[in-house]
């Protein structure tokens, strides 16, 4: 049950980081995007908005196209059942998303304190935020509702001319709703 609770509660902690600040900038796809030589704030916000739309559609492939092949995803979930830490690769994260999407009934989130800091050389950026979530999952045919607050950080870097997430870290506090 503890693993299921952590999975249900935390699968979207990184996937939906952009819900409340939906940008008016058009979404871009990597296939259509020209080779990037510098990162800017707008690019990061556009990527997060595109990922948010993909998450609402449960489109794992679009989410994964913004993760570097060697991305490291570190998640800590704190709950009444104890703390659980996970380090996931890109492949493991795909499985994590697919498992989470399979049991999710309802999901809402709000982001607070979004900050994007671009390195002076334009080769990397870090997005940090607090994510407030409410999620209902189905476990053994029963709905379970949770709320969580997560502090998260995503590092983006230029990888072969694309802006990709190379590191994701989140610490989430979860409780029954």
Q: Which of 150, 154, 175, 174 is nearest to 166 (CA)?
A: 154
126 touches 156 (CB < 8 A): yes
Output 116 or 137, whichever has higher pLDDT. Answer: 116
Number of domains, the chain: 1
Task: Tell me the pTM.
Answer: 0.79
The answer on pLDDT for 23 being more than 80 is no
pLDDT digits (tens, 9 = 90+) for 43-59: 998 898 788 778 777 88
- Per-residue pLDDT, averaged over 25-34, amounts to 49
Which structural domain, as residue segments, surrounds residue 83?
2-176
Task: State pLDDT tens for residues 1-20.
Answer: 444 444 444 444 433 332 23
Say which CATH number the domain at 39 has.
Answer: 3.10.450.50
Confidence of residue 143 (pLDDT cuts 50, 70, 90): very high
């Amino acid at each position: 049950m503890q693993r299921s609770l952590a999975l249900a509660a935390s699968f979207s902690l990184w996937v939906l980081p952009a819900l409340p600040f939906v940008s008016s900038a058009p979404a871009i796809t990597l296939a259509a995007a020209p080779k990037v030589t510098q990162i800017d704030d707008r690019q990061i916000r556009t990527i997060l908005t595109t990922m948010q739309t993909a998450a609402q559609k449960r489109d794992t492939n679009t989410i994964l196209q913004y993760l570097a092949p060697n991305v490291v995803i570190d998640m800590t979930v704190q709950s009444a059942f104890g703390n659980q830490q996970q380090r996931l690769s890109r492949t493991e994260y795909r499985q994590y998303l697919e498992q989470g999407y399979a049991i999710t009934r309802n999901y809402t989130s709000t982001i607070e304190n979004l900050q994007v800091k671009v390195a002076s050389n334009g080769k990397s950026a870090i997005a940090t935020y607090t994510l407030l979530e409410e999620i209902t999952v189905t476990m053994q045919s029963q709905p379970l509702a949770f709320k969580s607050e997560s502090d998260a950080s995503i590092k983006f870097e230029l990888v072969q001319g694309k802006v990709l997430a190379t590191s994701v870290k989140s610490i989430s506090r979860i409780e029954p709703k």
